[in-house]
Amino acid sequence: MPAELRFSRSDSRPSVPETPVAERSLVAARWCARRGWPVHPLAARRKTPAANCDHCRTDRHAPGTCPCLRAGRWCHGFHAATLDQDRIQQWWGGRPELGIGVSCGPAGLVVVDIDAHPAQTPARDRILPGIAIPEGVDLTGLANGFHTLAVLAALRGQPSPADDAATLRVRTPSGGLHVWYRAADRRRWQSSVGSSPGRALAWQVDIRAHGSYIVAPGNTIGAGTYTPVGDVREPAPLPAWLAQELERTGHLPASSIPAPRPVPPRAQQAVLGAGGSRNRVRRTLEAVLAPVEACGLVSEGAGFSDVLNRAAYTLGGLIAAGRLLQDEAENALRETAAAARPGQEHRIQHIIDSGLTAGLERPLRPTGERP
């Protein structure tokens, strides 16, 4: 852990005295918990949650029904996050090599995750969702999330959050930046991925809130350390203009209405082409594609390969039963998966091919329907 994040046991401010190496993760986890930020272990030198127990790796079940959490184990990633100091001692006291993740929703945090990945600039309507960028605007040089967020802020006459020295900012090993804010009210801000065709604030700008976690400052992974910028160690309130933008872009669904999951147009055509109704389009595609889309809420650690394989297997069974058209259904799944894991197209296609092949051998018909 870098010097600027060495904490005393009682003070909320960074402390100059050295902390023994074996205690640094424990001290940092305790510090986070005292801030009201529930913490959970990350795998050593990685940014993904520590592995589940053998049972949870092989038996698929909802985290809320898992006895491991009640027993004090860290299965299911951020679902296991805790403020309990005894449990924190149990986890990090004996395993100081574990990293620290913070569950954003229960912590009341909204973290702007700015990426700087080399990637092809998307179509203009994907750069700032909901804001038309005329063809006459020269986008030469626009290459990452720092640029898109700066454009959005400039349009609103505001400074970019990347330059907000009044709040906790953390430089990531990949050259990105985490800008930490706290929600100023009880609204349940939702997470998003900045390359998603659905809910998104800007290209290469992710939002970590309910349904996701953030790597704690000071964590070191194979690529480097999550290093605080400047002297501020507390999140400032979420700026009003940024809250308005998040609300505009669908990060605040009505509490009584589930957040919408847009169904790709090709997916709608797939079911309609096979003789289905528009209502069945919505029900079928939301059910099959929603778990894949949900993986996009976290960059890693969502079991993406297994989720995608199951979705492909299910679609294969529907295709074999004559309820979907193969080309269109496969394209819909590929589009959804690519939005959840940009830049992994080759891996995605391999998983889809495998799952579809297996599913095509077992037609999936509605309950009670005879072959």
Q: Are residues 115 and 178 in the same domain?
A: yes
Domain-located, residue 259: no
In this prediction the pTM is 0.64
One domain, residues 237 and 120: yes
β-bridge partners, 113: 178, 206
Token representation of residue 145: 């999330």
> Confidence band (pLDDT; 50, 70, 90) for 22?
low
CA distance 76 to 68: 9
Residue 367 included in any domain? no
Where is the domain boundary, 248, 281, 316? 248
pLDDT at 66: 84
List the Cα angle 271/312/315 in 5-degree steps: 30
Domain boundary among 202, 221, 248: 248
Q: Is 220 a member of any domain?
A: yes
Count of structural domains, the chain: 2
Domain limits for position 346 = 265-360
**What is the C-alpha separation between 210 and 198, in angstroms, rounded?**
16
- Determine the Cα–Cα distance for residues 349 and 352; give it in Å rounded to an integer: 5
Q: 130 and 211 in contact (C-beta within 8 Å)? A: no
pLDDT given for residue 12 in this prediction = 38
Q: Clarify whether residues 153 and 193 are in a common domain.
A: yes
Among 15-29, 40-54, 253-267, 322-336, which stretch is predicted with the lowest mean pLDDT? 253-267
| Of 84 and 270, the one with more pLDDT | 84
